[in-house]
Structure 1
Amino acid sequence: QAERFLSWTALSFTMFIRRQELESSKYLRNDLFTIRCDITILNYIRGVPPFIPEPPCDLRQEFAKLLETEMGADVVFEVGGETVAAHRCVLAVRSAVFAAELFGPLKEGNAATTGVVVRVDDMEAEVFKALLRYVYTGKLPEMCKEDEDVTCQHLLVAADRYGIGRLKLICEARLCHYINVDSLAIILALAEQHHCQGLKKACFYFLAAPGNLTAVMATDGFQHLATSCPSIMLEIMAFLAH
């Protein structure tokens, strides 16, 4: 048939063109022609009205609430003169270090035992709370802009201590924005001590900019870094030589 409709499920195609019309058409050149297809993607399941949107995932908010309410908490941390309650299973899933610390010594006991108390030395309470907030939600708490660089330094140390790699990289990335003449020695020493290769490279690139190396070398922090970590000086020289 010269004219007919082709139907498939709920979709319909318009009439076919006659061969005679196609052969005489300006769109046919050297026995070739191009077909344009307009595709509409239906962003909903067949049979479900599009005015019912899929709700966003609220898992992050629910886990944040779990941390805040301490419901079902089975471990207490003593840190910086404060106590912080948490859930051992959540911590163990997110950190192999927490898993070993909270379940390793308790293998002979009941995993559901409550009242476990863990002392955390050499860490401020606010830093540990920020660490837990990330563990539960995958997101850092809001920080005061004036203190963000110092907070990120402490969090980087904590993330490295508990083997939380993504948090460590987030802190590295943020600290890259705080590299300047006065802070470089501290940030570079931190990068060296905690094996932060990206942060270290950012420091090297800062030193490679005209005038920065001379200015940094005049600071007390850099003099201390040169004395306490001579190997880093060799790395700097090798980097600048290229």
Structure 2
Amino acid sequence: MSSSASVIVADTVRGHHHLKIDGYSVTKFALPRESALRSRPFSVGGHRWVIEYYPNGNLFSWSWMDHISLHLALDDVVAGKVTAQVQFGFKAGEEEEEEHALFLELKPGEVEAARGGVWRCPQFVSKETLEASTHLKDDSFTIRCDISVFNAFSAEEGPPPSPAPRSIPVPPSDLCQQLGDLLAAKKGADVVFEVGGETFSAHRWLLAAWSPVFSAELFGSMRESGPGVVRVADMDAQVFKALLRFVYTDSWPPETAEGEEFAMAQHLLVAADKYSLKRLKLICEDKLCKNIAAGTAASILTLAEVHHCHELKGACFHFLSSPKNLTAAMAGDDFENLRSSFPSLVKELIAKCSADA
């Protein structure tokens, strides 16, 4: 399959001319209205041009007496049409770069020999504005006129279009799967945890990378009941198994039944707080937040208070701010346990409900 390309090129010649007005106040008071001073002729694009400076304006401006007017005129005899774009502004100061020369509003336009060869800028700048500006210095200022002359358009052969880059399919990362397989295979494991009568083999480096608590225990003054054996008290074996799986795979235990997810989230939140696994703790908070109800609000609020879960605590307060929900929750045993164990928390809840009422 063949391919080709072409480019439309505008033959454009650009140039600029500086016209310095030395003795501005003299030109303003000495020249009659509608009278102009002409620059010396200059050449841009193979044509000769002059700038006409009207210090007291001309009739093409409705407020011509208050403004300085400028004309760009062809000072040439031409047979055909000359098309150009024109911009008037002020010359850049010594501390400014030349490409930033035009400071006031640009005055763009087109000049064609067929229309008399004159482009008018009747309101280049008001005299009041000029006299208050930094462009007028020592009773002089410099105008810059930029001209772009268009000669012709031509079509040229361009580079052939580049072929579309090919792509190579890249499968998604399976690092979590590989680490999960490493946990299951126990290959290279260098520590054993004893939890609830069951043992779990693991890798110190991986646990230490996830948890500063594991790092301190496994590489610090850990108390071992045997070579490479760590006993974990006050934790169910299935909960520790789920915690280990999260550390290796960064995922919620898939074997958790739907009806057991609420209980697992409660136990894993405690375990995550113990080992400073912040991401796992937030996942548990989110799952508990979605399970706030009249029968669970008190127990979830207790967990949130004990384990410093501020967002989860706020969600419980929000739910219990409804008088209907609060009445239903107070009828349960969990709320009575909350009242006896955390009386200050119940006072905070009541104050919150009263403020929202």
TM-score (norm 1): 0.77
Superposed structure 1 runs of 4+ greater than 3 Å apart: 5-11, 47-51
Query: 1:132-171 deviations in whole A, cap 9, x for unaligned?
Result: 1111111111121101000000000000000000100000
SS in 2 for 1:77: strand
Identify if the C-alpha distance between structure 1 residues 10 and 172 changes in structure 2 by more than 3 Å, giving closer, same or farther: same
Instruction: Give 1:77-156 correspondences, 5 Å limit.
Output: 77-105=193-221, 115-142=227-254, 143-156=256-269
User: In the TM superposition, what is the alpha-carbon distance from 1:213 to its structure 2 partner?
Assistant: 0.8
AA aligned opposite 1:231: S
AA aligned opposite 1:79: V
**Residues 1:2 and 2:115 aligned together:** no
Q: What corresponds to 2:294 in structure 1?
A: 181
C-alpha distance in 2 between matches for 1:180 and 1:96: 34
SS in 1 for 2:193: strand
Identify if the C-alpha distance between structure 1 residues 214 and 130 changes in structure 2 by more than 3 Å, giving closer, same or farther: same
- Unpaired segments ≥5 residues, structure 2: 1-151
Q: What corresponds to 2:185 in structure 1?
A: 69
User: In the TM superposition, what is the alpha-carbon distance from 1:4 to its structure 2 partner?
Assistant: 2.3
SS in 2 for 1:211: helix
Identity of aligned residues (%): 52
Higher gyration radius (CA)? 2
Contact 1:74 1:115 in 2 (8 A): no
Identify if the C-alpha distance between structure 1 residues 7 and 173 changes in structure 2 by more than 3 Å, giving closer, same or farther: farther
- Unpaired segments ≥5 residues, structure 1: 12-46, 107-113
Instruction: Give 1:156-235 correspondences, 5 Å limit.
Output: 156-235=269-348
AA aligned opposite 1:135: V
Query: 1:96-149 deviations in whole A, cap 9, x for unaligned?
Result: 00000000127xxxxxxx941100000011100110111111111112110100
Q: What corresponds to 1:52 in structure 2?
A: 168
* 188-197 or 232-241, which deviates more: 232-241
Identify if the C-alpha distance between structure 1 residues 196 and 5 changes in structure 2 by more than 3 Å, giving closer, same or farther: farther
User: In the TM superposition, what is the alpha-carbon distance from 1:205 to its structure 2 partner?
Assistant: 0.9
Identify if the C-alpha distance between structure 1 residues 2 and 48 changes in structure 2 by more than 3 Å, giving closer, same or farther: closer
Query: 1:171-222 deviations in whole A, cap 9, x for unaligned?
Result: 0000111111111111111111000111111111111124111111122211
AA aligned opposite 2:228: V
SS in 2 for 1:149: helix
Return the structure number with greater helix share. Answer: 1
Return the structure number with greater strand share. Answer: 2
Query: 1:86-105 deviations in whole A, cap 9, x for unaligned?
Result: 00000000000000000012
Higher relative contact order (CA 8 A, sep 6+): 2
Identify if the C-alpha distance between structure 1 residues 51 and 228 changes in structure 2 by more than 3 Å, giving closer, same or farther: same
CA-based RMSD: 2.1
Aligned residue pairs, count: 200
C-alpha distance in 2 between matches for 1:9 and 1:163: 60
Query: 1:27-56 deviations in whole A, cap 9, x for unaligned?
Result: xxxxxxxxxxxxxxxxxxxx9963521121
TM-score (norm 2): 0.53
